[in-house]
A and B are shown apart, each in its own frame.
Chain A
């Protein structure tokens, strides 16, 4: 006659032996708050360990490239705005530069100044969004609220300048659609004075918080070779210590006239190229953007805000290529024209698509919670991944 204790022990040991462990296929998304859009990640998990993570994209595919063959050069601009909808100004700037390269329009200096000011403000807005949602992914809600509060001010400025809050259609071929008003300039100055000390505050709030550091250091480490093999650019590349910024290396517009540093990751908290490095590069880039806008805002030259462009942009046959530094990396446009009013072929190389393709490599063998941390640090926008 065995005791109850022995019975239970015997049953337990037996069931543990027969316990079937199996890999579990898990669908993260498409409706998931920390996939930053409609992204589905098919995750093969072994307990808490991620064995493989395959991003399934295409939920937001809108045929941008094919569609641009059916609208004229000016009409593509609203579609370009919708690629990376958190950084519409930077996208539109790339498109405008590509078309201008083909037509040979001289962009007035005033327009160039306004373009760079708006592009840098947009970069701040985009990085604020990234900062806020990354905090949210890591369980810090206040960062999200603060990020949105300040982004709202930039959107207000943009509404004043362009008439829209998110999809501006502001950078037209040959210049900008509207001139910058003195009220807008005063508002930008106010914002800069308000915002510059806030960056340090946000660093205290989130970046140098020990819990945040412990969650993000040594996670999602990427080295320079992997970066080059995937063709990564932007913050991903600068996060692992490579000083490569198109604004500095291949300056377009008036970037060669402004002074700014290119912040790079240095592995301060853990390994070089981890999630924390990428986060802090974004935070420091905001400071550099403020510096750029400060240099330009007082020196906007007088003149027209748009070059001489007809109602319909007449583009000669040929091809054009442009690449610009967007908040998420290098955005490139390649246009082939046959001389008609519409582009013959448009190709868009989006940085987010390359960023998300590294997900599997970055997250093999990590915990599920680290997968969230890695996706957040890639800072993807699905509108641009799927195009």
Chain B
């Protein structure tokens, strides 16, 4: 490589880098005048679109204990126990008018196993199991991630 070649490369480096820097500066001016692209997270929050898949919630009043969600779950994180309903008790219906033939004894979801695939809520016939928009639920103990929807408190 001769000295002229070297100078040629050096010139190219300066010119092309200046071109790139111009793009950077243009972006900088745009961002400072028209507002930043990033948001300061804990103070400001992004709008979460409708149907976003966050924490699961089951409305046990509407649940008919059909266990289709547990069958659809690829990681087996839904645990359901149900007994046959006593015939002497008055019949119970969901909001959609489906008769509940089983008595729900246990409905637990281990949220730390959940992979948020949405297969359970798609399988639910009464639409009582659905994804909420909630995404901040870190806890200190792992046991607290087992959501018991029969005694649900948050």
Using a CB–CB cutoff of 8 Å, the interface residues on chain A facing chain B are 71-72, 74-79, 81, 140, 142, 146, 149, 156, 159-160, 163-164, 167, 169, 177-178, 201, 204-206, 208-211, 214, 311
Contacts and interface: CB of A to CB of B under 8 A. Distances in A.
B16 A77 contact: no
A204 B23 contact: yes
A8 B66 CA distance: 89
A311 B68 contact: yes
B17 interface: yes
Contacts of A72: 74
A204 B74 contact: no
- Chain B interface residue number, banded: 20 to 34
Contacts of A178: 51
Contacts of B9: 210, 214
B12 to A, nearest CB: 4
Contacts, number: 76
Interface string B2-24: 00000001001101110110011
B87 interface: no
Contacts of B23: 142, 201, 204-205
Q: For the complex, would chain B's binding face be called helix, strand, loop or mixed by DSSP majority?
A: helix
B17 A209 contact: yes
Contacts of B13: 210-211, 214
Given A72-B74, A205-B24, A311-B123, 10 more contacts: A74-B119, A75-B72, A75-B74, A75-B119, A78-B74, A78-B115, A79-B74, A142-B24, A164-B118, A204-B19
B20 A204 contact: yes
A142 B131 CA distance: 37
B116 interface: yes
A72 B116 CA distance: 17
